[in-house]
């Protein structure tokens, strides 16, 4: 991956080529609901997905392709749950069930649940909150369509009908899938969905494809299943369609010891770890390659709504936010789902980054056939998400905010992340040495990706790429900041000659800590690469070290940068791993053999 | 399985042979906590299990055996998550993390969570409730050890330290595992734990062992993994140790096309579907067989705390409940975990039956090695349970009830289930024909298991066992009650010559509906088996049918029982499947050729 020095990938230019066609409006949702009548769904009720989609709304579209040739043995030998099947008799009027082993809600020791949540339209100013209530028997008492009795009991693998309806509508509003028989099922989080998706499509010995740097959990989930991950080259705009085509076209089953892959795992927006976002055009090209090679696209999109305003630099004035929901939706890079005429996309959505990870609620959207396979697995493993989570989310998203309020919230989050990213980028401009480190401003997600020109390390090439990465990692920790090593994100591992990266996040750290954290890592880079520091250190420290150096006969010490960097008082934090690395590096420069000659003293041993 | 006609398996006699040794007391928990100091655990904090167990409390015990020879390829190739590993650097004081992609709690749109729960000690009388509150920053503000900021963010695979501590203490209070390095990890429910446990131990082509009737979800989870389930004979006291030993000793790898199994999946208490409970003596014998053949015991115990008072019959006075926590704990059949000196038991606990299934929270207890493997899988798939659930459960169980109040609650549940079961059993005595149907009063769980002497069916043996089962199933539905077919619970399938069963539950149905449901199924049995009805039908109905029968020349119709049963007005509910079955059955008796001869009329066709 070779990021250009500083390219702003503007969302405007990305979406101009493509607008999600026939997008459902929030007004149309209201009409559809009115036409379909009130939703009545009790304990473990089956969800009528067709009704939630509007019975006739999608009949003009072609059906998804069938994926029988793509399912694994595990998936192909799944049968529907016999016990869940018996639930269909419960529809008979007056039926007394002595059948299912569902406990009585009398024995749920929760009578009422309440949550204080911010009011839609008041996210930015002084906080204004409302309190939502869910009672035990709200459904029977006509107070709500969902309650503790229902949510806290067993449910179906796809989650509760009440909340699934909202999810289906939201999905249609945002993505408007262009084929007829798309469907949604809740997940207990996208991490689990990756695990279950891999088991659905892959056999031991298979390969899947991903970006050349990718979410390590996906790789770590795949490896024990005997599934290997082949990284595909990227640039600053994400996965390269030509590289994808090339890998597939020239796949050598003997060299790879495995069949040609047909699952592409991709994080198209605010990719983890690179922060890159595929443009609409890029997605269309990749989708064309997917059609050519008949791929399933596993579109993992936790950061989709963390698309931000364009970065304008430290001194420019910010670009105003979208002025309407329509403008907001149009500003989003279109998803693979929105262009998926074949039904070959399994899209993973998550509330983790925009509501709360602890909810453990997400959903997938895919063809009915894929969703059915997923549900059959969920019914005998994860089951649906926590009913406590579903009830709280339903109260917030369906009853309190509605689709409108949720879009307001997403817009609010967009602006908050924009501010966080800008603080990080501004700090980078101030503190991080451009001679060594380069980056592209991310336009989405939580991550910033530093490229490090490690060949400028004083000890290169005597010291290996991996050792230099380790040295930098610990130097940054020594300075009191934690970044993630780029090599952790490489599914194939990295070797000599590959580029070096570090991942930073601006998601959670307080703004002032982001600045300080970047200042520290800038220092660490300066120190490791022995370059001039811009830091206003304490002159006494420098003088003391210089004096000590003179005392111990190290008159020819290379003081610029190195000693300046040290003068910041961070030396005491250096760990053991760092010690040897640094000693080597320096002596290589020919300026300082104090360490190897045993001339170290208080200050200098601390430095080493 | 051959249940004796009516054996009361009394809990007293079961536990007299065994008392869980060295049981931790609630007072000792308090002392241990005081000695270990306050628990401070922020977002995704690591849990110090040793501390929760009491650092020196278990050192006198031997360590668990190692299970390296039992783990699957999948489990053996799992590596720890690299990203979760980097979290250890966050312990460094003053560290600014730009590392982990955790969102800021500022963007969780929940400021406060409240729940109204019943007060401990007031479960039986008029309801008295308290309201529990969880704020966003209670931890930082010193109001609580757990809060929204922590619970709603990402966490570790074993769940939040705060709640895990409570679970570990509870486990020790109840089971006191007799080896040193036991550990606990939360699950998202036992169904998921079964799925993950099977993947941990088994390869495609393997067999596992279970009761001859078992939880279908376990079988349905195993089958797509290529894992087959061999049923082991039971009696009214559950799995037979001799049968287990016999299956293992004589395992024929060629006939079975698979290696000798080493995983026993068992539900020892209130087994699903049979309702049987293994006595302490039975468990010790099975554990001895497990040692002999080096088995892993997957002890699935959702119904452990649904152990009830002995059934004394319709007219006897009830036995008073345990008068103290100690007496209550001593009344429980000891678990496999409590006798597991080898660490070969993976125990699955669940809150689903005693708090709420929708929580999707359970836990496993096993040797540290097994728990570590489980966690490594959870870290890249399910992750921990919903933080929303964990926070609510923590507020209730840790802060409101404590261990004492929870035992009070479990005792309350015990008495409630006792009442439910007794209503069902009393109704069975009144309505279910003993000539055809027999049963053993369950002493634990949710389920009642009817054995049906299908050889007394008028059409037997011309009509197959499977067809008679189907006929009865639909006849019961036709009468407005739903039972589950026994054959659904047979992992091997059932054939001619095997006994026939139906499963009923008394868990959730209102008491009056339990009675009515049993009355209906009694009717259905009478009808199918053409025996005298005790039902007080409407004489007009009978007369009308008799008259019609005479009118159409069917003078030799066998009116007793058959016509009486029909006179109840249920005939119109019969489905299509039922029709042919019934016509056959009756004409076999030689009394009624109306249907086959085309002599049916309004009433009679409805009956058929």
Coil, helix or strand for B238?
strand
pLDDT given for residue A562 in this prediction: 29
Backbone angles phi, psi at A561, to 5 degrees: 75, -60
CA end-to-end span of chain B, whole Å? 33
Task: Name the DSSP class of A143.
Answer: S
pLDDT given for residue B598 in this prediction: 23
Inter-residue contact A1 to A432 (CB < 8 Å): no
Which of B2 and A471 is assigned the larger pLDDT?
A471
pLDDT given for residue B608 in this prediction: 25
Integer Cα distance of B138 and B40 in angstroms: 12
Residues 6+ apart with CB under 8 A from B53: B168, B172, B182
Among residues B228, B47, B275, B230, which one has the least CA distance to residue B146?
B47
Scanning B264-293 for CB atoms below 8 A from A yields 272
**Count of Cβ atoms closer than 10 Å to residue A26 Cβ:** 15
Inter-residue contact A185 to A176 (CB < 8 Å): no
What average pLDDT does chain A have?
Answer: 85
Measured over the CA atoms of residue B169, residue B172, residue B178 and residue B182, the dihedral's sign is: negative
* β-pair type (B182-187, B362-367): antiparallel
Least CB-CB distance to B116: which of A98, A111, A151?
A111
Scanning A525-584 for CB atoms below 8 A from B yields none
pLDDT given for residue B543 in this prediction: 36
pLDDT given for residue A264 in this prediction: 98
Task: Name the DSSP class of A573.
Answer: G
pLDDT given for residue B357 in this prediction: 97
Residues 6+ apart with CB under 8 A from A10: A310, A443
Give the position of tokens 């990203």: B83
Residue A309: pLDDT over 80: yes
Q: Residues A377-389: pLDDT tens digits?
A: 999 999 999 999 9
Within 13 Å, how many C-alpha atoms sit on residue B271's CB side? 25
**Which tokens sit at A427?**
């700090």
pLDDT given for residue B533 in this prediction: 56
Contact B195 A381 (CB under 8 A): yes
Residue A143: pLDDT over 60: yes
Inter-residue contact A146 to A394 (CB < 8 Å): yes
What's the mean pLDDT in A30-49?
Answer: 90
pLDDT given for residue A136 in this prediction: 97
Integer Cα distance of B366 and B70 in angstroms: 14
Residue B503 Ramachandran class (φ > 0 left, ψ -120 to 50 alpha, else beta): beta
CA angle B268, B270, B275 (to 5 degrees): 115
Which of B186 and A24 is assigned the larger pLDDT?
B186
What's the mean pLDDT in A39-63?
Answer: 91
pLDDT given for residue B99 in this prediction: 85
Q: Residues A578-596: pLDDT tens digits?
A: 222 222 222 222 222 222 2
Minimum CA–CA partner of B80 in chain A: A220
- Domains along chain A? 1-23+183-306+337-385 (3.40.640.10), 40-56+102-175+387-405 (no CATH), 432-607 (3.90.1150.10)
**Count of Cβ atoms closer than 10 Å to residue B464 Cβ:** 14
One-letter-per-residue 3-state SS of B18-45: CCCCCCCCHHHHHHHHHHHCCCCCCCCC
Partners of A127 on chain B (C-beta within 8 Å) are 111
Q: Any CB–CB contact under 8 A between A118 and chain B?
A: yes
Q: Any CB–CB contact under 8 A between A100 and chain B?
A: yes
pLDDT given for residue B262 in this prediction: 98
Residue A561 Ramachandran class (φ > 0 left, ψ -120 to 50 alpha, else beta): left
Q: Residues A202-214: pLDDT tens digits?
A: 999 999 999 999 9
Integer Cα distance of B576 and B608 in angstroms: 9
Residue A147: pLDDT over 90: yes
What's the mean pLDDT in A558-577?
Answer: 27
10 Å CB burial of residue A226 (0-12, 13-18, 19+) is middle
What's the gap in Å between the CA of A506 and the closest CA on chain B?
Answer: 6
Integer Cα distance of A351 and A392 in angstroms: 13
Partners of B481 on chain A (C-beta within 8 Å) are 95-98
Inter-residue contact A505 to A518 (CB < 8 Å): no
**Count of Cβ atoms closer than 10 Å to residue A588 Cβ:** 15
Band of the pLDDT at A533, cuts 50, 70, 90? low
Coil, helix or strand for A294?
coil
Mean pLDDT lowest among A314-328, A526-540, A577-591, B260-274: A577-591
Distances in whole angstroms, Cα of residue B344 to Cα of each of A187, B46, B63, B362: 32, 26, 11, 19
Inter-residue contact A578 to A586 (CB < 8 Å): no
User: Which of A77, A89, A101 has the highest number of chain B CBs within 10 A, making it the mutation to test binding with B?
Assistant: A101
Q: Any CB–CB contact under 8 A between B132 and chain A?
A: no
Q: Any CB–CB contact under 8 A between B97 and chain A?
A: yes
Backbone angles phi, psi at A544, to 5 degrees: -60, -45
Is the backbone peptide bond immediately before A495 cis, with ω within 30 degrees of 0?
A: no
Mean pLDDT lowest among A171-180, A346-355, B125-134: B125-134
User: Which of B72, B83, B97, B98 has the highest number of chain A CBs within 10 A, making it the mutation to test binding with A?
Assistant: B98
**Which tokens sit at B274?**
């049979």
10 Å CB burial of residue A92 (0-12, 13-18, 19+) is middle
Integer Cα distance of B110 and B298 in angstroms: 39
Residue stretches of chain B with pLDDT short of 50: 2-13, 15-16, 534-608
Integer Cα distance of B109 and A275 in angstroms: 25
Integer Cα distance of B137 and B115 in angstroms: 17
Which of A547 and A207 is assigned the larger pLDDT?
A207
Backbone angles phi, psi at B297, to 5 degrees: -100, 115
Partners of B424 on chain A (C-beta within 8 Å) are 98
Contact A103 B356 (CB under 8 A): yes
Partners of B110 on chain A (C-beta within 8 Å) are 115-117, 356, 392, 396
Q: Any CB–CB contact under 8 A between B225 and chain A?
A: yes
């Amino acid at each position: 991956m070779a990021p250009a020095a500083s390219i702003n990938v503007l969302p405007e230019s990305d979406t101009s080529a493509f607008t999600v066609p026939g997008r459902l409006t929030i007004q149309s949702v209201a009409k559809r609901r009115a036409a379909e009548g009130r939703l009545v769904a009790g304990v473990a009720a089956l969800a009528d997905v067709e009704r939630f989609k509007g019975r006739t709304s999608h009949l003009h579209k072609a059906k998804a392709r069938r994926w029988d040739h793509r399912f694994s043995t595990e998936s192909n030998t799944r049968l529907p749950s016999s016990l869940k099947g018996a639930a269909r008799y419960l529809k008979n009027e007056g039926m007394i069930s002595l059948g299912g082993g569902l406990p009585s809600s009398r024995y749920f020791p929760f009578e009422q649940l309440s949550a204080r949540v911010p009011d839609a339209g008041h996210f930015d100013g002084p906080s204004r909150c409302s309190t939502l209530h869910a009672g035990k028997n709200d459904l029977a008492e006509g107070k709500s369509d969902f309650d503790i009795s229902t949510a806290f009991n067993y449910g179906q693998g796809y989650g509760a009908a009440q909340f699934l309806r909202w999810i289906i509508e939201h999905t249609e509003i945002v993505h408007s899938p262009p084929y007829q028989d798309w469907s949604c099922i809740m997940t207990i989080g996208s991490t689990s969905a990756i695990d279950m998706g891999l088991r659905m499509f892959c056999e031991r010995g298979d390969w899947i494809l991903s970006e050349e740097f990718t979410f390590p959990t996906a790789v770590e989930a795949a490896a024990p299943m005997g599934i290997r991950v082949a990284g595909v080259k990227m640039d600053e705009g994400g996965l390269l369609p030509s590289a994808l085509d090339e890998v597939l076209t020239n796949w050598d089953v003997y060299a790879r010891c495995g069949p040609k892959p047909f699952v592409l795992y991709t994080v198209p927006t605010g990719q983890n770890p690179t922060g890159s976002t595929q443009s609409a055009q890029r997605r269309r090209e990749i989708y064309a390659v997917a059609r050519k090679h008949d791929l399933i696209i596993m579109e993992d999109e936790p950061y989709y709504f963390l698309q931000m305003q364009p970065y304008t630099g430290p001194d420019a004035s910010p670009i105003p936010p979208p002025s309407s929901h329509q403008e907001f939706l149009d500003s989003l890079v279109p998803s693979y789902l929105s262009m998926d005429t074949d039904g070959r996309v399994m899209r993973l959505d998550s509330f983790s980054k925009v509501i709360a990870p602890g909810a453990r609620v997400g959903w997938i959207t895919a063809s009915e056939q894929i969703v059915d396979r997923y549900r059959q697995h969920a019914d005998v493993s994860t089951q649906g998400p926590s009913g406590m989570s579903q009830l709280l989310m339903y109260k917030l998203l369906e009853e309190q905010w509605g689709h409108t309020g949720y879009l307001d919230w997403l817009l609010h989050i967009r602006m908050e992340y924009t501010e966080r990213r800008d603080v990080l980028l501004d700090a980078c401009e101030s503190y991080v040495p451009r001679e060594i480190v380069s980056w592209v401003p991310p336009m989405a997600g939580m991550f910033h990706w530093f490229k490090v020109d490690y060949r400028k390390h004083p000890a290169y090439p005597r010291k290996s790429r991996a050792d230099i990465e380790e040295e930098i990692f610990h130097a940054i920790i020594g300075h009191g900041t934690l970044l993630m090593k780029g090599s952790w994100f490489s599914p194939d591992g990295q070797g000599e000659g590959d580029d070096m990266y570090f991942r930073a996040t601006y998601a959670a750290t307080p703004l002032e800590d982001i600045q300080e954290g970047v200042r520290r890592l800038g220092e660490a880079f300066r120190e490791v690469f022995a370059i001039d520091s811009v830091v206003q250190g304490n002159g006494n420290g420098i003088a003391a070290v210089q004096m000590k150096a003179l005392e111990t006969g190290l008159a020819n010490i290379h003081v610029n940068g190195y000693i300046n960097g040290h003068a910041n008082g961070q030396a005491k934090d250096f760990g053991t791993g760092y010690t040897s690395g640094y000693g080597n590096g320096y002596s290589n420069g020919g300026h300082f053999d104090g360490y190897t000659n045993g001339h170290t003293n208080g200050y200098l041993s601390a430095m080493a």
